[in-house]
Structure 1
């Protein structure tokens, strides 16, 4: 049997919920209206069983000709209709507002993530699957949609319903309130432990394999020319089949654990139902509850049961959305690698004089540097050809001028300006690079060549 290990990593919850809260703060009035509307509509659900019981008492107390009973029944009836109408109006108004809230947040998240990913270092992009990066962003966006729905539409009303129903039942019968409160706390505790300690770890592993699957697919498709060149289609299919097999195994385990969790919740709800209905019958037998009171208790429990049954799903959705957003949120804390200095000014290139001044550079953790104490001076307007064997540093020379990598020692100057102290965008915007092949966004050859100067004529 799998060990139960609570997946309550404070860093994950803190980072994801903090990230979400920062976006909520951008729309405070919209958020306040949504929460207020859901709060009031849930209070209508709390009061509905009370007036249902009063309607039953009025009907059971006398014949329809009795004016007192008729008035009581009509009062209960119109109150129920008002509560229902108010709940529908408020709930649907909140739904309309949450659409705007979530779409604005998803748009901001996509734009912010794209902004940051574009500014990660060349080394980061060289070591990251493009497909995996895209998958993290898109999955994180839709996870935010689920997170908003879970917290605002599901968990907030569930908490209000649980507290309100418990207090209302306890007001009339303290023992009934205690039974409902104890059962609800036990149900939520067990559900939380199973969701976070049993289902969530498997879900996180399944998500990691989902990311690998997306990355493997994107890598094979984007490198199709190489695959075709070596006739390696069957080899790539075999490699993907191994990844799919792992993904299938991890995903199946997650789904099975979720089913076990749901079955456990069903058994606990059945036990709660037996306890509440049994106690209601005992109160009726002792003369402490009328037929309307029993109807009130039963209606309260069935409404509450609907909320409780979904709480397990909401907790699982909360954990799943946090798992799915975690990799996206990690982008915010990941260092850019190559960053502009504070208040870096744009570079001003007039002549184009380039100087490498005692430059030392090596890639990553390579033991030997590619350049050691390297100096070269290229006069303005001078043409230079780089000749050397593969791996000797020809491409690296150009990348260092673009500041796609930072040197380990020394400095690179253009017109006497250290490129490490100027804005990267201004530097690269004044350097024209003609790529060896048209790889840019599946655009035309002319667009690839003119990318450095979009307004250039043909």
Structure 2
């Protein structure tokens, strides 16, 4: 059973990523420009601690009247300002790019979904709640917005920051690079395992009940005239209350698991912080690190810690967006039921007649026929 659930989750991730990739490929230039600006703005964050350390060393090395110390301090200061200003401009360009990319994808996906749904067979529409179907499409559209933000402007820069900081630390102190690299990899591995193996299964179940709740609400409101005709308001309240109880229980379990996941991530970051700061103090005690070096290590780690803390949130958002999109992707992957033959042309009727003789019809889910012996 556990293997079956794991396989189903993997299938959902693969189908959603394949679906998203098909739409990313339609805007290659915009996507490449977006990734480039994200990369450059993150590299600015990677280099900021280095020049912060140089600024501290320059200040400690001499008084303000010392031309050498003053020039070194001003050079580090100007570089810090240039990196900060460049990062602001690049992030602005990044977010403008992600707006255009995502809106184009959302509109294309919505149009394609409606096009697909309209061409499903009448039998499919008869056995599918309109409210639930609309909820699947709208939820999947907005999940794509979260997916793009998470992958392109959140997880990608986090990976760049991790690799860049680890490499920079290892250039000065190889053991420090090992500590940060291994600690970060362990943190990400545990976060991914908890998100996919512990939170995601319950999130999928909660989403299925969210869909049922949306369908129940839409159908109760749209069929209100029928409810009133039979005086069945109380029965509708009871039916909705049952769905709400199920939805509440499933959603509470999902949120509780997500909270436990976040607490575990905080504990792991505390251990990593103790290891990094402790090793930096050891280097300082042995005379292998200056005050500027300590500033460099602390600044680098605090920036990296912010990225790592957000990695946990980004992975949870990624898992949530995939859970929210899987029903929309399933609609696109579902066969139409009755498809036109390849090369079929519009029908042209010039003469003749259409006659029904002794027709009996019923929906697949109902034994009683809707009509029988129908002739016209």
Normalised by the length of structure 1, the TM-score is 0.78
Per the TM alignment, residue 179 of structure 1 is displaced from its structure 2 partner at its CA by 0.5
Partner of 1:392: 372
Quickly say closer, same or farther: Cα 1:261–1:393, change in 2 above 3 A.
farther
Secondary structure in structure 1 of the residue aligned to 2:118: helix
Partner of 1:221: 221
Structure 2: distance between partners of 1:326 and 1:168: 40
Quickly say closer, same or farther: Cα 1:267–1:106, change in 2 above 3 A.
same
Matched, 1:290 2:270: no
Partner of 1:75: 75
CA displacement, residues 277-331 of structure 1 (integer Å, 9 cap, x when unaligned): 1100000001110000000000000000000001011111111111100000111
Per the TM alignment, residue 70 of structure 1 is displaced from its structure 2 partner at its CA by 0.7
Quickly say closer, same or farther: Cα 1:334–1:8, change in 2 above 3 A.
closer
Matched, 1:39 2:19: no
Structure 2: distance between partners of 1:88 and 1:362: 63
Give runs of aligned pairs for residues 49-88 of structure 1, distance below 5 A: 49-88=49-88
Paired residues of 1:158 and 1:307 also in contact (CA < 8 A): yes
Secondary structure in structure 1 of the residue aligned to 2:372: coil
Matched, 1:166 2:146: no
Paired residues of 2:52 and 2:80 also in contact (CA < 8 A): yes
Paired residues of 2:150 and 2:314 also in contact (CA < 8 A): yes
Which has the larger helix fraction?
Answer: 2
Partner of 2:135: 135
Per the TM alignment, residue 10 of structure 1 is displaced from its structure 2 partner at its CA by 2.6
Give runs of aligned pairs for residues 248-259 of structure 1, distance below 5 A: 248-259=248-259
Structure 1: distance between partners of 2:12 and 2:33: 28
Per the TM alignment, residue 352 of structure 1 is displaced from its structure 2 partner at its CA by 4.0
Partner of 1:299: 299
Q: For the aligned residues, what is the CA RMSD?
A: 2.2
Secondary structure in structure 2 of the residue aligned to 1:18: helix
Q: Determine which structure has greater relative contact order: mean sequence separation of CA pairs < 8 Å that are 6+ residues apart, divided by chain length.
A: 2
Paired residues of 2:37 and 2:90 also in contact (CA < 8 A): yes
Secondary structure in structure 2 of the residue aligned to 1:261: helix
Structure 2: distance between partners of 1:324 and 1:192: 18
Paired residues of 1:129 and 1:219 also in contact (CA < 8 A): yes
Per the TM alignment, residue 14 of structure 1 is displaced from its structure 2 partner at its CA by 1.4
Secondary structure in structure 2 of the residue aligned to 1:147: helix
Partner of 1:343: 343
Structure 2: distance between partners of 1:299 and 1:352: 84
Matched, 1:333 2:313: no
Structure 1: distance between partners of 2:219 and 2:362: 27
Name whichever of 329-338 and 208-217 sits farther off.
Answer: 329-338
Normalised by the length of structure 2, the TM-score is 0.95
Structure 1: distance between partners of 2:244 and 2:103: 32
Structure 1: distance between partners of 2:127 and 2:146: 30
Determine which structure has more spread, i.e. the larger CA radius of gyration.
1
Give runs of aligned pairs for residues 120-131 of structure 1, distance below 5 A: 120-131=120-131
Partner of 1:200: 200
- Give the gaps of 5 or more residues in structure 1: 371-389, 399-458
Partner of 2:241: 241
Per the TM alignment, residue 340 of structure 1 is displaced from its structure 2 partner at its CA by 1.0
Paired residues of 1:8 and 1:196 also in contact (CA < 8 A): no
Partner of 1:212: 212
Per the TM alignment, residue 225 of structure 1 is displaced from its structure 2 partner at its CA by 1.4
Partner of 2:324: 324
Quickly say closer, same or farther: Cα 1:38–1:8, change in 2 above 3 A.
farther
- Give the gaps of 5 or more residues in structure 2: none
Quickly say closer, same or farther: Cα 1:221–1:349, change in 2 above 3 A.
same
Per the TM alignment, residue 224 of structure 1 is displaced from its structure 2 partner at its CA by 1.1
Structure 1: distance between partners of 2:117 and 2:351: 33
